[in-house]
Structure 1
C-alpha cells in the first residue's frame, strides 16, 4: 500500500510537469493570393509566344510571413497569420492565368521552357504589406513589370504599379482580402500593358 502511494506521489508531479512545460499549441491561419480580374482585355490573335518568368522579390517579402507596419519605416510580421506560399509562388500562376485569358498569344510559357519564344515578362515584387499607420488601414502592393524581346534581350517597355487598397478592418484577414483586390487591379493593368506593347 505504501509503495503504491509513493508511486502515485511521483507520477502526479510528472503529469503536472508535462502540463506546465509542454509548448502551447497556437493555430496559424494561412491566407492565399488567388484573385484575377473578372473581365480581361482581349487582344488580337497573334503567332507570338510569351515566356512568363517567376517574379523576383526583395528579401523582406520573400517569405510566407505576412508583413505589416504600425509606424513609418518599419516592417514586422504577424505571428499567427501567414501566406500559404511565398508571394512569388502565389503571384506567378496568377500572371500566367491572366495573360492566357487575353487570348492574344499562341502560347503562354513558364520556366523551365527551353524552346523558342517571342517575348519574356519579368516581374519584381517591390512591396506587399499591411499599413496600420493610417485610418483606415490599407494594403500596399507595388510591382514592376518589364517586357523584353527574345534573342536580342531588347527591353520593349516597363511599368510600375503601386496600389493602396483600403482594409475593412484592422485584422490580418482583412489585409488578405485587400491584397486580393489589389492583385486583381494590378493584373488588369498588366494585361493592358502587355497587349499595348507586344506588337
Structure 2
C-alpha cells in the first residue's frame, strides 16, 4: 500500500512538473503600428518646442491585446494575435517623428523632459478595434487631441478624429494593415490641425 501511494505521488509530481515548468508554446504573433505618412505639410521652422505627452488610453485598449468585435456592445481579444506594445507606446514615437518631419518646430520632444516648451500636445486613444459587424469589416480608430500653450497651460484647440479603414480580408492581419493605414491618415490630419493652431 505504501509503495502504491509513493508511486502515485511521484506520478503527480512528474505531471505537475511538466505542466508548470515546461514552457507553453502559444505561437502568438505580434504586430506593430509603424506608419508615418509621406505627404505631410511642411513650413519654415519656428522657434518653438512641442512636448508630446504619452497618450492616455481607454481601459479596453490600454493593453497589447488586440481588440475586435463581432457583436454590438461587446469587445473581445484575439488569443494568438497581439500588438508588440500597447497602442500608446507605439503611437507616441509616431506622433513625435511626424512633427519632426514637418520641420515646423525647432524641437519636438516627449517625456521624460524637464526643459521649457512652447506647446503641449495631449492625446487620448478612445477606440482601436477591428469591427466585424459591418460588411466589409473595418478598423475603427478614434483619438482626441488637445493642443495647450506651455506657458499658461491654456487650451488652444481640441479635436476628435475618427477614422474607419476597411479590411481587405476578415482576419487579424488585414486588421493590422488597416490599422496602419488609419494611423497614417490620422497623423496627416493631426499635423494639419496642429500647424494651423500653433501660433
Do Structure 1 and Structure 2 share a fold, with TM-score over 0.5? yes
- The within-5 A match list for 1:126-145 is 126-145=126-145
Kindly report structure 1 stretches of 4+ aligned residues shifted beyond 6 Å.
none
- Gap regions ≥5 residues in structure 2: 1-6
Once the two structures are TM-superposed, the CA of residue 139 in structure 1 deviates from its matched residue by 0.3
Structure 2: how far apart are the matches of 1:28 and 1:112?
32
- Counterparts of 1:15-94 in structure 2, within 5 Å, are 25-94=25-94
> Could you tell me how far 1:151 is from its partner in structure 2?
2.2
Superposition RMSD on alpha carbons, in Å? 1.7
Structure with higher Rg: it is 1
Q: Quote the Cα distance in structure 1 between the aligned partners of 2:44 and 2:194.
A: 12
Matched residue pairs, number?
184
Structure 2 SS opposite 1:130? strand
Superposed counterparts of 1:140-179, under 5 Å: 140-179=140-179
- Aligned counterpart, 2:198: 198
Q: Give me the whole-angstrom Cα distance separating, in 1, the residues matched to 2:81 and 2:107.
A: 37
Deviates more, 1:81-90 or 1:144-153: 144-153
Instruction: Return the offset for 1:55.
Output: 0.4
TM-score under structure 2 normalisation? 0.88
Please say if 1:112 is aligned against 2:112. yes
Q: TM-score, normalised by structure 1?
A: 0.88
Q: Secondary structure at the match of 1:47?
A: strand
How much has 1:106 moved relative to structure 2? Answer: 0.8
Instruction: For 2:87 and 2:198, locate their aligned partners in 1 and report how far apart those are by CA, in whole Å.
Output: 26
SS in 1 for 2:95: helix
